[in-house]
């Protein structure tokens, strides 16, 4: 069954182009030219992703808010004109999962649509895990042994980071990456009980995901770790989120008394002029986590802020 896309666009030429691009990517497409028509089509068609323009003729940001109220897991991409000064900020303010700035290219539209599908899959997985958590709360623990939280596609996560890094360079907005680790989980488990390990990791995934915005992304990683990507987030904002992540690990009920450590990496192009590639951001976050663990764990670590005189370009 082909994934479904709704294109809400008043311009016939732009709408037709988006439809061609998405159909070339094997999406089933429905079109709407007005707000009311788009909302009615959304209810009847139940799309997997929505593309909508922010224009005077059709308020795509308001449509995003309305569709999110009906189906929070459905990703929305808002399309802006080239002259828009702050597309990322406006899209984030409306609760959108992404934005595109014209002129549009087929490869960009299709890759964005596919990325949105992966985000939707991740959200549905977390919703399922959270439902299981609520179901098991009365029993004192949550059984996530069959949840397989480590099955998330890390290659997709890497590509998503690369896309957001390009946007960061273009629009000069900040981005941050956290590496979160459950301290000494192997030792706490005594080296065994893989079922309990998966239970704990599944519960941590739920707790971390529910502590961030819809536009943020939490992905299970290796060695009891999680990567948390925060677009449009400054260093100070990332540190605040990191403290929240650390506290959430301590709220796990399936294995009481856990603690968490968090490594923070952030880039603020507008403030410092710094640039960093995906590999550099991952390395910086991992090194900060290593310092946190080396200091005994249960803490947040981040590099010192970079000034313009200390500007570093990696890659």
pLDDT in tens, 96-121: 888 888 888 998 899 888 888 877 77
- Residue 33 has a pLDDT of 95
Judge whether 63 lies within some domain. yes
The structural domain count of the chain equals 2
Q: Which residues constitute the domain of residue 176? A: 140-310
- Residue 172 has a pLDDT of 72
- 62 and 177 inside one domain: no
- 242 and 161 inside one domain: yes
pLDDT in tens, 184-202: 888 888 766 778 888 888 8
Question: Over pLDDT 70: what percentage of the chain?
Answer: 79
Judge whether 168 lies within some domain. yes
pLDDT in tens, 140-158: 344 444 444 333 456 667 7
What lies within 8 Å, CB to CB, of 216 at 6+ separation is 228, 229, 230, 231, 233
Judge whether 245 lies within some domain. yes
- 150 and 78 inside one domain: no
Question: Is this model's pTM higher than 0.75 or not?
Answer: no
Q: What would the mean pLDDT of 58-77 be, rounded to a whole number?
A: 91
CATH code at position 41: 3.40.50.2300
- Residue 233 has a pLDDT of 87
- SS3 category, 223: coil
pLDDT in tens, 237-266: 999 999 999 999 999 988 889 999 999 998
Judge whether 24 lies within some domain. yes
- Residue 142 has a pLDDT of 42
Chain centre distance of CA 124: 13
- Residue 315 has a pLDDT of 26
Q: Which of the two residues, 148 and 203, has the higher pLDDT score? A: 203
- Residue 305 has a pLDDT of 60
Are 19 and 104 a contacting pair, CB within 8 Å?
Answer: no
């Amino acid at each position: 069954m082909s994934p479904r896309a709704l294109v809400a666009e008043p311009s016939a030429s732009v709408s037709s182009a988006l439809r061609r691009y998405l159909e070339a990517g094997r999406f089933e497409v429905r079109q709407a030219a007005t707000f009311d028509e788009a909302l009615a089509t959304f209810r009847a068609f139940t799309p997997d992703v929505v593309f909508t323009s922010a224009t005077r003729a059709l308020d795509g940001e308001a449509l995003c808010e309305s569709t999110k109220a009906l189906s929070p897991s459905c990703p929305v991409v808002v399309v802006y004109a080239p002259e828009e000064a702050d597309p990322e900020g406006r899209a984030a303010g409306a609760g959108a999962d992404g934005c595109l700035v014209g002129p549009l290219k087929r490869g960009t539209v299709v890759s964005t649509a596919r990325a949105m599908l992966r985000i939707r899959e991740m959200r549905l997985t977390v919703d399922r895990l959270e439902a299981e958590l609520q179901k098991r709360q009365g029993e004192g623990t949550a059984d996530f042994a069959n949840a397989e939280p480590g099955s998330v596609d890390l290659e997709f996560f890497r590509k998503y980071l690369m896309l957001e890094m390009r946007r960061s360079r273009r629009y000069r907005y900040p981005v941050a990456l956290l590496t979160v680790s459950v301290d000494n989980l192997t030792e706490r488990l005594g080296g065994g009980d893989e079922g309990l390990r998966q239970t704990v990791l599944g519960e941590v995934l739920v707790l971390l995901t529910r502590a961030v915005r819809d536009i943020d992304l939490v992905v299970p990683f290796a060695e009891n770790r999680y990567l948390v990507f925060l677009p449009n987030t400054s260093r100070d904002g990332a540190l605040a989120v990191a403290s929240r992540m650390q506290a959430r690990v301590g709220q796990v009920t399936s294995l009481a008394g856990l603690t968490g450590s968090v490594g923070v990496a952030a880039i603020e192009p507008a403030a410092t002029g710094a640039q960093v590639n995906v590999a550099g951001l991952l390395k910086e976050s991992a090194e900060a986590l290593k310092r946190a663990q080396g200091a005994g764990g249960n803490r947040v670590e981040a590099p010192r802020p970079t000034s313009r005189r200390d500007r570093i370009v990696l890659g």
